[in-house]
A and B are shown apart, each in its own frame.
Chain A
């Protein structure tokens, strides 16, 4: 926080002093873009810093018991010790040297990569299945009649309720975790696809039809590109759902994963480890959302940049 504040002030000074002191050379990045980035980064740091300060204050005056709610300087200060709880595959097996195996940092990376791979695999499978079925529902009336009522009935079921089913079907391992992510996203995404198809601008379809497009061409050339922006938004909203579900699935035991580390922390009464994993998931969720936003930007090149209207 301390190092972000001067950056923001510098950004403000450049904005106001630009008229009197023109820049000596062309900047590498568009100045308004850079300024926007610095400002939003600065506010992120400020926001996190504010809550950190409150937490640390509570610890300082003795309201927060460090054994139950260890403040950031404690749980982050213990990273070195805590990382040994990641990658639990062989470390506690009889006859294995506890200091053998990957280093702490490597263990964290392996664990994060395993969880991330499950989230991404689930997202991809759920998107492909849901968008295909959604399009088929609107393309063939029979598909709608046979599938839509069941999908509508199943969509409000909490993904947690599917956990036993995942284990019955797939046992223990990667498959049930991925299955959970798919189930958490699939029903909502099918319904969202159908809704978005219904909301496609009628004029687009009329134009294509007057130009002699067949039903198939109308779907391929008009309906699918027209619903893509809405679907990527749905995907982004469901990404957080995927992160929540994957932890639950992993807590049932899948070799290694962040959910398993959380369960380990719970069973060994290790609040520092819990908060460390929570912080890690927060950062990962943020980064995956950012990555999806970049994909959105690339795939949906035709959409104008959204201005910040602050709800006004």
Chain B
């Protein structure tokens, strides 16, 4: 079992020690989603969380975002325990989460309006963030006038406007078609490089993990544990057709196959 359990760094944006989460703890419906997670994420690192559906990787993201309470273990953010949500850690969802009653720029400036920033400040920050995602022209449109890919770029701009240290992304491109998804991956790598933020990216797509990650954390399911952590030091920009990429894909596929087989066997035993 690969694990990062060692010293305790105040410089690391995310440090998990024996982290566990049980839904509906103490009731008959109690369900252990995560168990014994040890993970250190370095500043500026791009970490992909890979695993079959229902393995708890999204739960880990919600814990790091501070939207859910930790059941067991420790979770630290720059040496401070995570006790609730913070603009330092922005979450981006698969499904569009833009407010339909606000224009694109008002959506991007939403976090600043929460802080009570003036109209001029908000507009300036929104224009700046929209420039970073190449969407200044759409600033006065409404979310439903945009394509799925553009909406996700606006969601990224909204997160960037808060100048977060950590970007948490929960299968953000899963609802997009293959061509748009590839474009969005390149776009995300640009944003990551320019912003210097740490990214934790949940996906069940092996191609996506190979294309994006510095490290891939492979999960087992029920309860979710870390099966292995694979370092991906392929040179960037990456060629998905290079033999090295192919080898990485093979390796990750082999790691995941056992888990998928196990999940299937479990489902079949439920059916019997």
Seen from chain A, the residues whose Cβ lies within 8 Å of a Cβ on chain B are: 201, 203-204, 206-213, 217, 221-222, 225-226, 301-304
B120 within 8 Å of A (CB atoms): no
Residues on B with beta carbons closer than 8 Å to the beta carbon of A201: 95, 97
Is chain A's interface secondary structure helix, strand, loop, or mixed overall? helix
> CB distance B110 to A210 under 8 Å?
no
B126 within 8 Å of A (CB atoms): no
> CB distance A302 to B111 under 8 Å?
no
> CB distance B87 to A209 under 8 Å?
no
What are 6 A-to-B residue pairs whose CB atoms are below 8 Å?
A206-B67, A206-B97, A211-B85, A212-B115, A221-B110, A302-B142
> CB distance B89 to A210 under 8 Å?
yes
| Residues 86-125 of B at the A interface (beta carbon under 8 Å) | 86-87, 89-91, 93, 95, 97, 99-101, 110-111, 113-115
> CB distance A304 to B144 under 8 Å?
yes
| Residues 107-165 of B at the A interface (beta carbon under 8 Å) | 110-111, 113-115, 142, 144, 158, 162
| Known pairs A210-B66, A221-B114, A302-B100 / 20 extra A-B pairs, C-beta < 8 Å | A201-B95, A201-B97, A203-B93, A203-B95, A207-B93, A209-B85, A210-B67, A210-B89, A210-B91, A211-B87, A211-B114, A212-B86, A212-B111, A217-B114, A225-B101, A226-B99, A302-B101, A302-B144, A303-B100, A304-B144
B contact residues, total (Cβ < 8 Å)? 24
The smallest C-beta distance from A209 to any residue of chain B, in angstroms, reads 5
| Other-chain residue from B86, B91, B113 in contact with A207 (beta carbon distance below 8 A) | B91
B65 within 8 Å of A (CB atoms): yes
Residues on A with beta carbons closer than 8 Å to the beta carbon of B85: 209-212
Central interface residue in B101, B111, B162, by most chain A CB within 10 Å: B101
Residues on A with beta carbons closer than 8 Å to the beta carbon of B66: 210
| Other-chain residue from B93, B110, B142 in contact with A208 (beta carbon distance below 8 A) | B110
> CB distance A210 to B90 under 8 Å?
yes
Given contacts A211-B114, A212-B111, contact A206 B99 (CB under 8 A): no
Residue of A nearest to B142 (CB): A302
Residues on A with beta carbons closer than 8 Å to the beta carbon of B65: 206, 210
Residue of A nearest to B97 (CB): A203
Is chain B's interface secondary structure helix, strand, loop, or mixed overall? loop
Central interface residue in B66, B67, B100, B144, by most chain A CB within 10 Å: B100
> CB distance B67 to A209 under 8 Å?
yes
| Residues 209-250 of B at the A interface (beta carbon under 8 Å) | none
Central interface residue in B65, B85, B162, by most chain A CB within 10 Å: B85
Residue of A nearest to B94 (CB): A203
Residues on B with beta carbons closer than 8 Å to the beta carbon of A209: 67, 85
The smallest C-beta distance from A224 to any residue of chain B, in angstroms, reads 10
A207→B159 CA distance, assembly (Å): 9
The smallest C-beta distance from B114 to any residue of chain A, in angstroms, reads 5
Residues on A with beta carbons closer than 8 Å to the beta carbon of B110: 207-208, 211, 221
> CB distance B114 to A206 under 8 Å?
no
> CB distance B87 to A207 under 8 Å?
no
Residues on B with beta carbons closer than 8 Å to the beta carbon of A217: 114
Residues on B with beta carbons closer than 8 Å to the beta carbon of A211: 85, 87, 90, 110-111, 114, 162
A122→B269 CA distance, assembly (Å): 59
Residues on B with beta carbons closer than 8 Å to the beta carbon of A204: 97, 99
A206→B97 CA distance, assembly (Å): 9
Residues on A with beta carbons closer than 8 Å to the beta carbon of B111: 211-212
A212→B65 CA distance, assembly (Å): 11
The smallest C-beta distance from B122 to any residue of chain A, in angstroms, reads 13
Residue of A nearest to B168 (CB): A210
The smallest C-beta distance from A92 to any residue of chain B, in angstroms, reads 55
A225→B97 CA distance, assembly (Å): 14
> CB distance B86 to A206 under 8 Å?
no
> CB distance A206 to B91 under 8 Å?
yes
A303→B101 CA distance, assembly (Å): 8
Residue of A nearest to B65 (CB): A210
Residue of A nearest to B110 (CB): A211
Residues on A with beta carbons closer than 8 Å to the beta carbon of B142: 302
Residues on B with beta carbons closer than 8 Å to the beta carbon of A212: 85-87, 111, 114-115
A201→B93 CA distance, assembly (Å): 12
7 smallest CB-CB distances across A and B, nearest first, come from A211-B111, A203-B97, A210-B85, A209-B85, A302-B101, A302-B100, A225-B101
Residue of B nearest to A300 (CB): B101
A217→B85 CA distance, assembly (Å): 14
Residues on A with beta carbons closer than 8 Å to the beta carbon of B158: 207
A7→B42 CA distance, assembly (Å): 72
A226→B100 CA distance, assembly (Å): 9
A184→B146 CA distance, assembly (Å): 42
Central interface residue in A210, A301, A303, by most chain B CB within 10 Å: A210
A210→B97 CA distance, assembly (Å): 13
Central interface residue in B66, B87, B93, B99, by most chain A CB within 10 Å: B99
The smallest C-beta distance from B112 to any residue of chain A, in angstroms, reads 9
A301→B103 CA distance, assembly (Å): 11
Residues on A with beta carbons closer than 8 Å to the beta carbon of B113: 221
A212→B66 CA distance, assembly (Å): 11
The smallest C-beta distance from A95 to any residue of chain B, in angstroms, reads 61
Residues on A with beta carbons closer than 8 Å to the beta carbon of B144: 302, 304
Residues on B with beta carbons closer than 8 Å to the beta carbon of A304: 144
Residue of A nearest to B144 (CB): A304
A217→B111 CA distance, assembly (Å): 11
Bitwise interface map of B from 60 to 99 toward A, beta carbon under 8 Å scored 1, else 0:
0000011100000000000000000111011101010101
